[in-house]
Structure 1
Amino acid sequence: MQHFPIFLAVAGRRIVLSGGGDAAMAKLRLLMKTEAHLTVIASEIAPDIRKWAAQGKLQIIERAMEPGDALCAALFYAANEDDAEDARVSAIANAEGALVNIIDNLADSQFITPAIVDRDPVTVAIGTEGAAPVLARAIKADLEERLPPSLGVLARIGKTFRHAVEVLPMGRKRRDFWSAFYFGKGPQAIEEGEDAVIPALETLLDDHIMAEAKEGHVDLVGAGPGDPELLTLKARNALDKADVVIHDRLVTGEILELARREAIIIDAGKTGFGPSMKQEDIDALIVQHAQDGHHVVRLKAGDPTVFGRLDEEIEALEAADISYRIVPGITAASAAVANIGQSLTKRQRNSSVRLITGHDTKGYADHDWRALAQPGEVAAIYMGKKSARFIQGRLLMHGADPHTPLTIIENVSRPDQRIVATTLAEMEPTMTNAGLTGPAITFYGLAPRDAQANALKLKEFA
């Protein structure tokens, strides 16, 4: 992010604009929506700008800009449509302490003006850092259609009522009140006229004051392999409602960004063969926050039902008589196999697939290696980096073909995803030499589709 979005207080402050033509008029139409004191400086002034000045919306200084003109200005716009003049006046404004924007010159501007959806006092700003203004306008048009004009009226009335609502405790109860107002009682009341809104607010507040506190609840949510677009709608909605999010170490920052800003975010990460929060401590943490009346999201990478120790957390919740819901996610094997263009099962190859882990709570995990070593078998190996040599040795010991294809996918579905194709015979040292630092899943018995196709061609020519 090169531009940090903020809303600047400009009521009663100076905004100076240099220029009197079309570019200046386009910017002034937006600036006149503010409560700032606007000053336009230019030798030639368009008729519309003169009309706005006559209406008291802005002040005109009819000459070229000089030193001292931008003193005490919060913002300065260079809109002369002349590169040399814009550079000259911007240097003056910058020296006098104003933040400078040069129209159509992103590189030399200190700030940018986003596309704005105005439902005063509700304002939505859309910025693309100058990369895609057409996209920003399209998003603006979509939001204009979605947000009713009455939204601004409801927000203004709601603002006057905020002090009264402080009788409700911060968090879920207060949030439920405002949600009921903006998406229920408020729109219904305003259809009868603005005078009906305050009585509706008072009645709604009485109802929420008298309502019994809601019991805590836990959603056990699968975050998928890392790509936020692979979250289910149900998982996304759970994050929207969460008071507390307790996540494991493989949940990506992009997904945590989707949680509400005021939610408590707790890292309960585990590391294979490394420092970890004890499972009983995680269970106690989930239970305690739910008993405090919070909506808790226990966020697990992938699917919580696959190597997620889900049963232990459910048992803790049931013992404490806390309601819970399981929200499945896309497990790493499903995302990874799609990314190598393969299928986990295939007619005349394998009618079953094994999801196995490289290690468990006791160390390296043991499996039915003899069955897995049979031709055509497919397995997705989770948490197999440190146990690679152990797995390789067990399979070869039980008669597996050394040429069995093997595919390692690191950081599945993420921008830095990496795919390494090898064979069982080369499983080690390939994994060590690859220098894997992120989470990885290994497919035994599957090669990336393009690698498989090349191997078949070589076989034909051999």
Structure 2
Amino acid sequence: MAYFPLMLDLRNRPVLLIGGGPETEAKLQALLEAQARVTVLAEEDRFGLAALAAQGRIRWLRRGYREGDLEGYCLVVSHPKDKGIHPQVREEAERRGVFLVAVDDPKHASAILPAVLRRGELLVALSTSGAAPALAVRLKERLARLLPEALGGLVAYLRTLRPRIARIPGFEARKALWYRIVDLALEELDLDPKEGLPRAIQRAEEILSEVEAWTR
């Protein structure tokens, strides 16, 4: 199956989590990190649901799925104890035009969650299109050893450069400058993954200041 890769901005958007399965807590945490407005359907408080609800971080309905529960949601993540409900959930999702992540049940899913490696704002998502999630997890672990934590700091710094570089006249000039700065920064991190970020920032500032002086 050919999937279209997409990053979603779920901030303050309504998401339904049908819980109960062993990965419910992990899926809930991921949705909270994305700042979604999460409603949880779960009969038992196995994941600190009562505390989260009391804090106003989630809305918890202490029951299982019922027909009509998907109304008003932009995304549904379903990981119940009994996946036997998924045909019904999928039928409703299709009828309402809502994407459904049916965890460990790709036959009934219209969307899948990849394995995600985070370095600040840098996200690396890996998926086997539902065929072998364990492989995606192991590949993520390998990438984690290759991509240093400092990349998160580099991304944050590069974000601050966008207004300055936008003032450089000419698309090709801006493009060449971006790649020059990024390539030199990565070179510094390759040489010293733990301590190379300050040097990478210093070199970037030197390059940008030089270009800015030319274009004044």
TM-score bin, normalised by smaller chain: 0.7 to 0.9
Q: Secondary structure at the residue paired with 1:203?
A: helix
CA displacement at 1:99 relative to structure 2: 0.2
Q: 1:165 to 1:181 in 2, by over 3 A?
A: farther
Which residue matches 2:131?
Answer: 131
CA displacement at 1:47 relative to structure 2: 4.0
Aligned partners of 1:123 and 1:144: how far apart in 2? 11
Aligned partner of 1:205: which letter?
L
| Residue of 166, 173, 185 corresponding to 2:177 | 173
Matches within 5 A, 1:4-403: 4-168=4-168, 169-184=173-188, 188-190=196-198, 197=201, 201-209=204-212
Q: Secondary structure at the residue paired with 2:116?
A: strand
CA displacement at 1:155 relative to structure 2: 0.7
Aligned partners of 1:6 and 1:118: how far apart in 2? 16
Aligned partners of 2:151 and 2:180: how far apart in 1? 18
Q: Secondary structure at the residue paired with 2:48?
A: helix
Q: Secondary structure at the residue paired with 2:123?
A: strand
Q: 1:200 to 1:51 in 2, by over 3 A?
A: farther
Q: Secondary structure at the residue paired with 1:128?
A: coil
Q: 1:207 to 1:72 in 2, by over 3 A?
A: farther
Aligned partner of 1:203: which letter?
E
Contact 2:90 2:108 in 1 (8 A): no
Q: 1:71 to 1:120 in 2, by over 3 A?
A: farther
* Post-superposition CA distance 1:46-94 (Å, at most 9, x none): 1433344344432211123334432332210121131332333333333
Q: Secondary structure at the residue paired with 1:171?
A: helix
Q: 1:171 to 1:161 in 2, by over 3 A?
A: closer
Q: Secondary structure at the residue paired with 2:163?
A: helix
CA displacement at 1:138 relative to structure 2: 1.6
Contact 2:115 2:136 in 1 (8 A): yes
With normalisation by structure 2, the TM-score equals: 0.80
Matches within 5 A, 1:405-424: none
Q: 1:154 to 1:54 in 2, by over 3 A?
A: farther
Give 4+ residue runs of structure 1 displaced > 6 Å after superposition: none
Q: Secondary structure at the residue paired with 2:23?
A: helix
Q: 1:67 to 1:124 in 2, by over 3 A?
A: same
CA displacement at 1:38 relative to structure 2: 1.4
Aligned partner of 1:155: which letter?
V
Aligned partners of 2:54 and 2:150: how far apart in 1? 31
Q: 1:99 to 1:77 in 2, by over 3 A?
A: same
Identity between Structure 1 and Structure 2 (%): 27
Contact 1:14 1:36 in 2 (8 A): yes
Q: Secondary structure at the residue paired with 2:60?
A: strand
Q: Secondary structure at the residue paired with 1:176?
A: helix
Please, what is the CA RMSD of the aligned residues? 2.9
Aligned partner of 1:107: which letter?
K
Q: 1:91 to 1:24 in 2, by over 3 A?
A: farther
Contact 1:43 1:62 in 2 (8 A): yes
Q: How many residues align?
A: 207
Q: 1:158 to 1:55 in 2, by over 3 A?
A: farther
Q: Secondary structure at the residue paired with 1:95?
A: helix
Contact 1:79 1:103 in 2 (8 A): yes
Aligned partners of 2:164 and 2:151: how far apart in 1? 20
Q: Normalized per residue, which structure has more strand?
A: 1
Aligned partners of 1:107 and 1:65: how far apart in 2? 19
Contact 2:150 2:197 in 1 (8 A): no
Larger radius of gyration: 1
* Post-superposition CA distance 1:147-170 (Å, at most 9, x none): 111211221221122121123424
Aligned partners of 1:90 and 1:43: how far apart in 2? 20
Contact 2:25 2:47 in 1 (8 A): no
Higher relative contact order, chain-length normalized (CA < 8 Å, sep 6+): 2
Aligned partner of 1:59: which letter?
R
Aligned partners of 1:19 and 1:125: how far apart in 2? 23
With normalisation by structure 1, the TM-score equals: 0.40
Aligned partners of 1:45 and 1:95: how far apart in 2? 30
Aligned partner of 1:105: which letter?
D
Which residue matches 1:261?
Answer: none
Aligned partners of 2:166 and 2:187: how far apart in 1? 20
Q: Secondary structure at the residue paired with 1:73?
A: coil
Unaligned runs of 5+ in 1: 212-462
